[in-house]
Amino acid sequence: MIEQEHLPRHIAIIMDGNGRWAAKRALPRVFGHRTGVQRVRDIVEACCDLGVEFLTLYAFSAENWQRPAMEIADLMGLLEEFIRREVDELHANRVRLNVIGRLSDLPSRIQEQLRDAITLTRHHTRLCLNLALSYGGRQELVDAVRSIARLVSQGSQSPELIDENTIARHLYTAGQPDPDLLIRTSGELRLSNFLLWQISYSELYVTPTLWPDFGRAEFEQAILEYQRRDRRFGRSQSPAVPSAPPPDAS
Ligand code: IPE
Ligand code: IPE
Ligand code: MG
């Protein structure tokens, strides 16, 4: 049973494996992406039901622009369809939509639709859904450094007073807690430039399941596994976890 009091506040997901899912069925990749969108709906719904406060989904990376133009067009088409079909439902369910990444890289029509959806849902507090679009962790750090440097050059930020909080405040995720749990589907053991700063102490859950097959049951399994972890943050083992008995305990 999921314990409500130890729920991860923020879950981030690298939704990978759509292409392999389609290839296994001898279908074009877009079918995998299309089925993947349905899983987005399921996982958002699960977060609302469970009470997860922040969900960050890696939907399109800065590096994904290197894919064939046809696949990019398919992905942008699906994104537009998602916004058109789902925003009313997100609004009705009190979900706040937010985008992290370089929004200005996206086709202008999609930028407008996203801005409208962000404005429409901006006061909701049940779940904050961050869609990572044209997102790269290094690019995010570059953007943060640029904005801090601007403040320094204007004289409104002293270099000596820059600390971790200053940097966090200039990231796309400013004001949000760091992810407690990072899930990656389809088994790759890498971060692919996702949330490099924010996941320094996230618990990792990597599953061979391909994203279009990742349902609510496995999502809940991932949360259960997270709840069994001992998050030490560099401290010694917490006393709640039984340690070896002392030598005279027999
Ligand atoms: C994830 O699935 C979706 C995006 C990166 C947009 P992939 O398209 O990367 O699927 P695989 O990794 O090739 O199976
Ligand atoms: C990461 O998946 C990006 C998204 C899920 C959007 P990729 O499929 O692009 O990552 P690599 O290329 O396998 O590292
Ligand atoms: Mg992939």
Output the CA 184–ligand 3 centroid distance in Å. 10
pLDDT tens track for 189-234: 999 999 999 999 999 999 999 999 999 999 999 999 999 999 999 9
In this prediction, residue 195 carries a pLDDT of 98
In this prediction, residue 246 carries a pLDDT of 67
Query: What pTM was computed for the model?
Result: 0.95
16 is catalytic: yes
Q: How far is CA 41 from the centre of its chain?
A: 14
H helix runs in the chain, sequence order: 18-24, 29-50, 69-92, 108-120, 137-154, 164-169, 216-228
* Nearest ligand (C-alpha, residue 193): 2
| Residue 118 to residue 170: CA distance in whole angstroms | 19
Q: For 7-136+178-228, which CATH class?
A: alpha beta
Check whether 240 has a pLDDT greater than 80.
no
pLDDT tens track for 45-100: 999 999 999 999 999 999 999 999 999 999 999 999 999 999 999 999 999 999 99
| Per-domain residue ranges of the chain | 7-136+178-228
Q: Is the dihedral of CA 102, 76, 119, 13 positive or negative?
A: negative
CB 21 within 8 Å of CB 211: yes
Measured by CA distance, the residue closest to atom 12 of ligand 2 is 192
* Nearest ligand (C-alpha, residue 33): 1
Check whether 165 has a pLDDT greater than 80.
yes
| Residue 88 to residue 97: CA distance in whole angstroms | 11
Output the CA 204–ligand 2 centroid distance in Å. 16
Confidence of residue 241 (pLDDT cuts 50, 70, 90): low
Output the CA 45–ligand 3 centroid distance in Å. 24
Residues with CB under 6 A from ligand 2: 14-16, 58-61, 64, 188, 190, 192
